[in-house]
Amino acid sequence: MTKSGVRELLKPIKDGFLSGKANPYKRPEFALRPLDTMLEELSEIAMIDWYKYAFSNEPLNGKFTDEQRKLWMEKSIECGKEYCDLICKKYASKDPIVLAKTMGLKVSYPTLPEKAERVLFAEYRMPNQISIYMDAVNKAKKSLEKPEILNIVTNKLDIRKLLLAHELFHYVEAEYKKEIYTQNEKIRLWSMGPIHNNSAIIALSEIAAMSFAKEMTRIPYAPYLMDVLLVYGYSPIEASGLYEEMMQYVK
């Protein structure tokens, strides 16, 4: 894929780096906003308060109440923390690069995905492959050269490691699928006598991956702001629009 191809996929982008899907809808016109202003506001939002945004792309979201979303958000955040602690203790490291190597994952750092129908900044492919796409990382790192941006995201932020930690959770989740919360929490869609249709909730996995990455990298804010930072490197106007959408969810 060419860099111009990535820009096309970003028009428009609704999801962020956690799932990277570009949905075919017409975005309203938004004002261009300074990156530091957006990041500063987003950095002040507590992890739990992102629950509406975190569920916004869940296929079953329309069946949930806010009470359910918030409860599942809390449990998924705790799940991410729990398994970060478990893995870091088991392998005696808090460095996602070291952990990935020790756990036998194959990590690659290509510039761009070869083929994609959606925007991707990183991805996990079963059973043990993770790709971190460096074009997005390198563009975002240019923003970090500005003191006003670095002051907000802090020097704890290593974008490559944050993305790797997020994808590492998905490997951990597959390894512990029989007992991990995100794979065992279900919602009952319908019942007919003794027959039940229970469904997994996809958003839980992504929330826990965010929490896992936050805990492992020790950044002091919710990783959701990375959606805006990464998109900004390709299109400041799309990042501004994404920011506007986020603020609608977290008000």
- Report the number of distinct structural domains present in the chain: 1
User: What local confidence, expressed as pLDDT, does residue 11 receive?
Assistant: 47
In a domain, 45, yes or no: yes
User: What local confidence, expressed as pLDDT, does residue 43 receive?
Assistant: 97
Q: Which domain holds residue 236?
A: 3-56+65-245
Residue holding tokens 């392998």? 91
Give the residue from 158, 227, 180 showing the smallest Cα distance to 78: 180
Give the helix ranges, DSSP H, for the chain: 3-9, 35-43, 51-54, 66-90, 96-102, 134-143, 147-153, 159-175, 181-184, 202-217, 226-232, 236-250
In a domain, 250, yes or no: no
User: What local confidence, expressed as pLDDT, does residue 30 receive?
Assistant: 76
In a domain, 237, yes or no: yes
In a domain, 231, yes or no: yes
In a domain, 179, yes or no: yes
User: What's this model's pTM, rounded to 2 decimal places?
Assistant: 0.87
3-state secondary structure (DSSP) of residue 28: coil
**Element (DSSP H or E) covering residue 189:** strand 186-192
User: What local confidence, expressed as pLDDT, does residue 193 receive?
Assistant: 67
User: What local confidence, expressed as pLDDT, does residue 114 receive?
Assistant: 79
Radius of gyration of the chain (CA): 18
Which regions of the chain are under pLDDT 50?
1-7, 9, 11-26
In a domain, 200, yes or no: yes
Spatial distance between the Cα atoms of 128 and 39, rounded to a whole number of angstroms: 33
User: What local confidence, expressed as pLDDT, does residue 188 receive?
Assistant: 73
